């Protein structure tokens, strides 16, 4: 099935969390008890619930942390 969703690039995210409040469908979660290549916590998008509104991308201060397409291979859960 083709998923139409945004992606949080796990190793670019810095765990700032501004994306959470920006999401109208509450489909962003923290990866539990994990750190990424930068050594920070990171978030992921539940692609089957994302409505591709772009709110998270507008809110995120980290260049390249959120992509406007679905790349599950870049997003660790």
**DSSP assignment, residue 31?**
P
Name which of 64, 63, 75 is nearest 5 in CA terms: 75
Work out which of 1, 2, 11, 18 binds ligand SF4, going by CB under 6 A: 18
Which one among 13, 31, 70, 75 touches ligand SF4, defined by CB under 6 A? 13
Give min distance, CB of 27 to ligand SF4, in A.
Answer: 5
| CB contact at 8 A, 15 and 3 | no
What mask, x for binding ligand SF4 by CB under 6 A, covers residues 36 to 75? Answer: -------x-x----xxxxxxx--xx-x--xx---------
At residue 8, the 3 state secondary structure works out as strand
């Amino acid at each position: 099935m083709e998923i139409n969703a945004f992606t949080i690039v796990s190793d670019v995210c810095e765990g700032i969390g501004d994306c959470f409040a920006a999401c109208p469908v509450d489909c962003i979660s923290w990866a539990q008890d994990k750190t990424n290549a930068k050594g920070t916590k990171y978030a992921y998008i539940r692609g089957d619930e994302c409505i591709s509104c772009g709110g998270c991308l507008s809110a995120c201060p980290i260049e390249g942390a959120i992509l406007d397409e679905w790349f599950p291979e870049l997003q660790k859960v």
